[in-house]
Amino acid sequence: MVKFSKELEAQLIPEWKEAFVNYWQLKKQVKKIKLARKPKPPQQVANNINTSSEFGFSIFDPIRSYFSSARSSSSSTTAEIIKVRRKMMAGSDHEVYQTDLVHLFSEEDEVKAFFEKLDGELNKVNQFYMAKEKEFMQRGDILNKQLDILMDLKRILSENRRRVKSSSNNSSVSGGVFSRSWSSSPRSSDFSESELAGGETPKSEQSETEEVIAALEKNGVSFVNSNTRTKMNNNKPKMALRVDIPATTPTRTITAVTSMLWEDLINNPKKGESGGGGGDHINRKKIQCAEKMIRSAFVELYRGLGLLKTYSSLNMVAFTKILKKFDKVANQQASPSYLREVKKSHFISSDKAVRLMDEVECIFTKHFANNDRKKTMKFLRPQQQKESHMVTFFVGLFTGCFVSLFSVYAILAHLSGIFSPTTGRSYVETVYPVFSVFALLSLHLFMYGCNLFMWKATRINHNFIFEFQPSNSLKYRDSFLICTTFMTSVVGAMVIHLLLRAAGFSPSQVDAIPGVLILIFIALLICPFDILYRPTRYYFLRIMRNIACSPLYKVLLVDIFMADQLTSQIPLLRHMESTTCYFIAGTFKTHRYETCNSGKLYRDLVYLISFLPYYWRAMQCLRRYIEESDVNQLANMGKYVSAMVAAGARLTYAKKENHLWFAIVLVTSAFATIYQLYWDFVKDWGLLNPKSKNKWLRDDLILKNKSIYYMSIGLNVVLRVAWVETVMGFRFRMVESRMLDFFLASLEVIRRGHWNFYRLENEHVSNVGKCKAVKPVTVPFRDADSD
C-alpha cells in the first residue's frame, strides 16, 4: 500500500506545491507528540503501584475500574476536546481559524504547536483558493464579454454579406477599416461600427444595427462623440474598438510593421482631423483568428478550474489523514470537530469553480463545438496517451540489435582496413560525413530522452513550459525508441555498405547507400500519414520553420530551446553541407573529393553555416526585445554575436595559420567563452547567487544533493573550453583528425543535454515562485481608448 505522503507528492500540482498543505511538516509535529507520550520508566511505575497499594485492595476494585474507564471513554467521545474559532484578520476582510484546547493534554505544548501549525496551513489553503477563484472568475467574466462581442461582430458581418448579395448596385463591400499600431501589442486594429456595416446604413436596418451597438456597449465597447476622434454617420457615433491579433506569422509581422511605418509617415499629421486610419479591411479571417484566441482562452480557463478542483480535493484528504494520525497518537477524538470546520471553509464549501466549469462546458459546446459534447470534451479534457509496454520491449530489442550490429561493423572495418592511412581517405571522405550526421542526431535524441526521464522523475512540468499537448507529446520511452531505431538502421546500413564493398560491387553503386538512407529518413519525416509520431514530426517541422524565419514568427520558449540545440550541432550542419555537395555534384560516382573542398562557394558556405544558428538565436532575442523592451534580451543577443565572431576567427585561422590570427582567435574565443559561461550559470541556470542560503547556488533546488550542482558547474566549464584543441597546433592524419572532430562534436551534444536539464529546472522554479500553473492568455477585443 502506497503511503499518502508519496501519493500526495505524485498528484499535487508542481507549480502550486508551496500552497498545498505541508503534510510532511505536520507529520513531524505528530511524531513529536508521539515521542512525548513515551511510557514511564519501570521504576516509576512500581513506585506508583506501591503508593496505591498502601491502603490495601478491595473486591470492588475491578468494578470501579470498569465504570471509571467506561465513564472516561463516554466523556471523551461526547465532549469536544478542541474548539475552532473564526476571526477576522487584522487589516483585512479574510477570516482566519484559531484552535483552542478545551481538554488538558499531558503533552500540551506539543499538541498546541500541532494545532497552531494546522491552523496556519488551513488559513494558507483557504486564502490561496480564494485568490485563485477570484482570478478565474474575473477571467471568466472577461471571456464572456469577449464572446458576446465576437458573436455581435459575426452577426454584423453576416448581415453585411447578406446585404451585398441582395443589392445589385453595390459591386464590392468593405467590412470595416482598420488602423493598426505597434504600441502595446504586436498587431492591433481599430475599427468603427459604421465602417463594419459598410458605410451608409439603410433606414430599415438602423433599428437592428442600433440593437447591436447597444449590445456592444454593454460589453465594454465605448462610443466616442468627439469630433477630433470620430466622425458622425447618420447622427450615429462611430465605435472605437480595437482588435489585437498577435503577429505570430511573417505575414502579420510584416503587415504590422508596414502599417506602423505608414501611420508614422502619412497618418500622424491627419490624426487630429479624423479618427479612422488607413489599412486593410476586417474580414472573416480576422474574426476567425479572434475566435481561435477566445477558444484557446476558454480551454485554458477550464484547465485552471480543473487544477483548482484538484487542489481542493487533495487538501481535504490531507487534512483528514493528518487528523486521523493525531487521533491515533494522542488517543483522542479531535478530528470530527476540526473536520467540521474544514468542510465549512471556503475551499470546500464554495461551488463557484464547479459552476463555472459547467458554464464553460455549455458555452464551448454551443459556440465552438456545434453542440457536439464529445468534441467539447476532446478539447477541454484531452485523453492522456497510455504508456505501452511494447515501447519498452522494442527499446530493448533495438538496443540489442544496435550493439550486435556495431560489433559486426567494428570487426568488418578492422578486417577490410577502411581506417588505414592508405585506404582510409576514400571511406572517410565519402561515408563518414553521412553517418556522422545520423550518429550526432541519435546522440542528441538519446540526451533528450534522458532529459525527459529526469524531468519526469523530478516533477518538472516540461509540457506546460514548452506548451506541449500532453495527449501527443513524446515520453522518454518514445525518445529512446526513436533513437535506438535510428541507430540500428544506420549501423545496419554501414554493415551492408562494407559487405557490398568486400563483395566487389562498383564503388559508385555502393557509395549511393548513404544517400538512399537520407532520402528514406526525409520521406519518413514529411510522411503525411498518421503513423510514426506524426504530431511530433510536424510540430518539429513547424519549430524549424519558425527558427529559419526568425524574427518574423513570434518567439516561444520551445523555439528558443530548439535554436539553442542547433548552436551545439554546427558540426552536424557542416557534415550536411559536405554530404549535399557530395551527392549533388556527383562525387560519389567520380570519387574526386577535391570537387567540393576546392570550390570557393563551398568554402564560403562554411562561414554561413557556422553563423546561421547564432544568427537565428540573435534574431529571436531582437524580436523579444522589440516586444518586451527587456534590455536583458539585447545582452543575450550580444552573447551570440560574440560567438559568431569567435567562430569566424577560428575558421579563418584554420586557413591562415599565423601569429596575428592566433592572437585574434585567443581573444575572441576567450571573451565569448567567459560571456557564455556567465550566461549559463547566472541567467539560464539561476546559480552563482552569493546571497543564496545554498552557497553560490540558488534558494530553491530540485535536486537534494547540492554537490551535483557544483560538479555540473565544473563539467560545463570543461566542455565549454573544448575549442582550445583547435588552436593547439596538433597534427593528425586524415582519419584521426576526423575521429577527433567527431569526438569533440559528441562532447558538445552531451554538454547541451546536460545544460537542458538545469535550464528547464530554473524555468520551473520560476513558475513555482509565481504559482504559474495556467498560461496567461491575450484577448482580441478591447477598448481603443485603453491605450
Interatomic CA distance for residues 208 and 156, integer angstroms: 10
pLDDT of residue 129: 95
Contact 785, 310 (CB under 8 A): no
pLDDT of residue 169: 53
For residue range 365-403, list pLDDT tens digits in order. 999 999 999 999 999 998 877 778 899 999 999 999 999
Return the sign of the alpha-carbon dihedral for residues 239, 242, 245, 250: positive
For residue range 566-577, list pLDDT tens digits in order. 999 999 998 888
For residue range 172-220, list pLDDT tens digits in order. 444 443 333 333 344 444 454 444 444 444 554 455 555 555 555 555 4
- The partner residues of 82 in beta bridges, in order of sequence, read 101
Is 90 exceeded by the pLDDT of residue 82?
Answer: no
Stretch among 3-12, 56-65, 569-578, 685-694 having the lowest mean pLDDT = 56-65
User: Sorting pLDDT into bands at 50, 70 and 90, what band is 121?
Assistant: very high
pLDDT of residue 174: 43
Contact 97, 85 (CB under 8 A): yes
Burial class (CB in 10 A: 0-12, 13-18, 19+), 612: middle
CA 626 to each of CA 184, 641, 742: distance values in angstroms, whole numbers, following the listed order: 11, 18, 39
- The partner residues of 84 in beta bridges, in order of sequence, read 99
DSSP symbols for 382-422 = PPPPPPPHHHHHHHHHHHHHHHHHHHHHHHHHHHHTTTSTT
Q: Which residues contact 289 (CB under 8 A, 6 or more apart)?
A: 245, 780
Is 90 exceeded by the pLDDT of residue 89?
Answer: no
Considering only CA atoms, which of 691, 723, 695 is closest in space to residue 709? 695
pLDDT of residue 9: 87
100 three-class SS: strand
* Longest Cα–Cα distance in the chain: 121
Residue that has been written with the C-alpha cell 507549480 in this structure: 15
For residue range 274-317, list pLDDT tens digits in order. 444 433 445 677 888 889 999 999 999 999 999 999 999 999 99
Return the sign of the alpha-carbon dihedral for residues 564, 565, 568, 569: negative
- C-alpha neighbours within 13 Å on the C-beta side of residue 772: 13
Burial class (CB in 10 A: 0-12, 13-18, 19+), 338: buried
